[in-house]
A and B are shown apart, each in its own frame.
Chain A
Amino acid sequence: EAGVAQSPRYKIIEKRQSVAFWCNPISGHATLYWYQQILGQGPKLLIQFQNNGVVDDSQLPKDRFSAERLKGVDSTLKIQPAKLEDSAVYLCASSLDPGWETQYFGPGTRLLVL
């Protein structure tokens, strides 16, 4: 079974530029999550999708971050404009359905904002 795929793996941008990350969850997984992991911290939930609907985006900085999962499969996370403090690893995870506790994480996208 293929795991969660993410791209790119690394991205370096200058502040005020925009960037987008892509995630393809495990086939059949209805729930998709985006997490932000700053160096030395645990992952922090940004947004959770159930199919193509948003379940929880309470910690998403909506003035600069946006995410979508249009067809209920792949998802993109965008930052526009980026700030220095957005430097982090962005992790995508999926689970079979809500209430299925185990989450499967992708390798992450490491973002450096200069």
Chain B
Amino acid sequence: SQKIEQNSEALNIQEGKTATLTCNYTNYSPAYLQWYRQDPGRGPVFLLLIRENEKEKRKERLKVTFDTTLKQSLFHITASQPADSATYLCAPHSGGGADGLTFGKGTHLIIQP
């Protein structure tokens, strides 16, 4: 069956450092993969989408990589700030058929001042 794995433990990073979050998937052949941010008591907010033919995508301090051979996406936040503290969800998608997303459990990121 399809499985999406994200860092199960909370990730504590010191302010100013780069935070790296991992998303591994099995039994998927995603056409694209999305990353969302979720704050307590709020719905997820879209951050970045990367397609299978893209190795890397950037948006301001955010960078996503996508390795279809390793079946893995990495999400980087450079120059991290306490305001980056949140849960980050990944969602690989086959691109075909229905468009509902299947999410990983998410990684709880804590940026310490």
Residues of A within 8 A of B (CB): 4, 31, 33, 40-45, 48, 55-56, 91, 93, 95, 98-108
A-B contact count (CB 8 A): 59
Residues of B within 8 A of A (CB): 4, 32, 34, 41-46, 49, 89, 91, 93, 97-106
Cβ-defined partner of B32 (8 Å) among A42, A56, A95, A101: A101
Asked if residues A104 and B103 are in contact (CB atoms below 8 Å), the reply is no
Taking CB as reference atom, which chain A residue is nearest B51?
A101
Cβ-defined partner of A105 (8 Å) among B34, B44, B99, B100: B44
Taking CB as reference atom, which chain B residue is nearest A104?
B46
Asked if residues B102 and A4 are in contact (CB atoms below 8 Å), the reply is no
Can you give 20 A-B contacts (C-beta < 8 A)?
A: A4-B43, A31-B99, A40-B105, A41-B105, A42-B91, A42-B106, A43-B44, A43-B101, A43-B103, A44-B103, A55-B99, A56-B97, A99-B99, A100-B99, A101-B32, A101-B49, A102-B46, A103-B101, A105-B44, A105-B45
